């Protein structure tokens, strides 16, 4: 890390805004926080008196819960709002919702929204720090960071690794954050999926698009499978899920093309039997639940670091 480095970000809107030093600092901070979750009493006073609002306009299990667990482990006061129980159902705009929440003086607002750019827009209207918990098809920075933490934990480094990302890249905010993050940290990212689900210009993000599954997975250090996003398949971009599983699903044979110690990862939730076969998801090389564990540590680090710049 460069001498004189300090973490200068008020908001976490995307990996795109983070330098390699920023990512390294977040991961190192998260690694130091991880042991708190293994203590008998899982609580430190670091964020006592801070108010954190989880504003989720899309469903979530892992991200929402782990931000809440992270905040509570740091003694912050947390409050959850979901679209279905908010006045958004009565037609209130995101900006009006944001201004009303801001009037209650929260310190951090964590937002998930189907609109790409919603966290950026929100950050222009509120004094609170804003953390993007997934915006449309754009970015999911805390997921990218926990993925990098998990790989660094198992491989001891990120530079020089081959990361294969398989599946629906077009709709995947996780893929975008992972490609930006892993390439920034010196990994090489290879992607493969149905051509209708591969966006143009991926090479500009630093990824190599492979024409076969074998080319992407061969000798990979990590095989990252992505969820087929059934809720975002408005156009018929796939013939059928059965065919997808046949040509792009990660089976035991596909996983065997990677290095013998190659990690199997998935951001969740998994469509078992479609993008990832159950025996691979639950197999000895799967680190999918480690990703979830590390999600709490990464989110503790993000809350801590943005409050340090408040
Ligand atoms: N990985 C992820 O974002 O999972 P959730 O949708 O359950 O938060």
Domains and CATH numbers, the chain: 15-139+292-306 (3.40.50.1370), 141-288 (3.40.50.1370)
* Known catalytic membership, residue 242: no
pLDDT score recorded for residue 2: 64
Ligand 1 atom closest to residue 133's alpha carbon, by position in its atom list = 3
Q: Residues 17-27: pLDDT tens digits? A: 999 999 999 99
Ligand 1 atom closest to residue 63's alpha carbon, by position in its atom list = 8
Q: How many helices (H) and strands (E) does the chain have?
A: 11, 9
pLDDT score recorded for residue 310: 66
Distance in angstroms (rounded) separating the CA atoms of residues 62 and 70: 12
The Å distance, Cα 47 to ligand 1 centre, comes to 24
Take atom 4 of ligand 1 and give the residue whose Cα is closest. Answer: 62
Q: At 34, which helix (H) or strand (E)?
A: none
Ligand 1 atom closest to residue 59's alpha carbon, by position in its atom list = 6
* Known catalytic membership, residue 63: yes
By most ligand atoms within 8 Å of CB, the mutation choice from 61, 80, 225 for ligand 1 is 61
Beta bridge partners of 110: 54, 131
* Known catalytic membership, residue 140: yes
Encode the chain (310 residues) as per-residue pLDDT tens digits.
Answer: 667 899 999 999 999 999 999 999 999 999 999 999 999 999 999 999 999 999 999 999 999 999 999 999 999 999 999 888 888 888 899 999 999 999 999 999 999 999 999 999 999 999 999 999 999 999 999 999 999 999 999 999 999 999 999 999 999 999 999 999 999 999 999 999 999 999 998 989 999 999 999 999 999 999 999 998 776 666 667 778 889 999 999 999 999 999 999 999 999 999 999 999 999 999 999 999 999 999 999 999 999 999 986 6
**Catalytic: which of 64, 140, 171, 184?**
140
Distance in angstroms (rounded) separating the CA atoms of residues 298 and 102: 25
Take atom 6 of ligand 1 and give the residue whose Cα is closest. Answer: 60
The number of CA neighbours under 13 Å toward the Cβ of 189 is 26
Q: Which of 107, 159, 117 is nearest to 16 (CA)?
A: 117
pLDDT score recorded for residue 178: 98
The backbone region for 266, taken as left when phi is positive above 0, alpha when psi lies in -120 to 50, beta otherwise, is beta
Q: At 147, which helix (H) or strand (E)?
A: helix 141-155
Are 31 and 154 in contact by the 8 Å Cβ rule? The answer is no
Are 217 and 223 in contact by the 8 Å Cβ rule? The answer is yes
**Catalytic: which of 112, 113, 152, 171?**
112
**Catalytic: which of 10, 62, 72, 259?**
62
pLDDT score recorded for residue 1: 67
Are 117 and 94 in contact by the 8 Å Cβ rule? The answer is no
Q: List, chain by chain if needed, residues with CB within 6 Å of any ligand 1 atom.
A: 60-63, 134, 140, 143, 267-269
Strands (E), 68-147: 77-82, 108-113, 129-135
Q: What are phi and psi of 120, to 5 degrees?
A: -65, -45
Take atom 3 of ligand 1 and give the residue whose Cα is closest. Answer: 63
Distance in angstroms (rounded) separating the CA atoms of residues 218 and 212: 10
User: Exposure of 48 by Cβ count < 10 A (0-12 exposed, 13-18 middle, 19+ buried)?
Assistant: exposed
């Amino acid at each position: 890390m460069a001498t004189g480095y300090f973490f200068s970000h008020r908001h976490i809107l995307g990996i795109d805004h983070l330098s390699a030093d920023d990512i390294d600092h977040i991961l190192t901070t998260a690694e130091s926080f991880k042991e708190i979750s293994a203590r008998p009493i899982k609580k430190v006073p670091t964020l006592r008196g801070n108010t954190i609002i989880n504003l989720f306009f899309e469903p979530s299990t892992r991200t929402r819960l782990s931000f809440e667990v992270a905040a509570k482990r740091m003694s912050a006061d947390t409050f959850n709002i979901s679209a279905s129980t908010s006045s958004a159902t009565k037609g209130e705009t995101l900006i009006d919702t944001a201004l009303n929440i801001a009037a209650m003086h929260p310190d951090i607002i964590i937002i998930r929204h189907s609109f790409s750019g919603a966290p950026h827009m929100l950050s222009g209207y509120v004094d609170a720090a804003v953390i993007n918990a997934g915006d449309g098809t754009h970015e999911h920075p805390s997921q990218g960071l926990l993925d990098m933490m998990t790989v660094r934990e198992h491989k001891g480094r990120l530079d020089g690794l081959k990361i294969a990302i398989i599946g629906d890249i077009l709709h995947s905010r996780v893929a975008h954050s992972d490609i930006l993050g892993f390439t920034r940290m010196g990994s090489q990212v290879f992607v493969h999926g149905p051509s209708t689900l591969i966006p143009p210009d991926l090479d500009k993000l630093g990824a190599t698009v492979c024409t076969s599954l074998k080319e992407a997975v061969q000798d990979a250090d990590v095989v990252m499978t992505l969820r087929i996003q059934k809720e975002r398949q408005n156009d018929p971009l796939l013939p059928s899920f059965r065919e997808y599983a046949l040509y792009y699903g990660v089976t035991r044979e596909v996983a065997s093309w990677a290095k013998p110690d190659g990690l199997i990862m998935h951001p969740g939730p998994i469509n078992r039997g479609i993008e990832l076969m159950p025996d691979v998801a639950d197999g000895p090389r799967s680190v999918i639940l480690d990703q979830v564990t590390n999600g709490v540590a990464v989110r503790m680090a993000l809350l801590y670091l943005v409050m340090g710049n408040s």
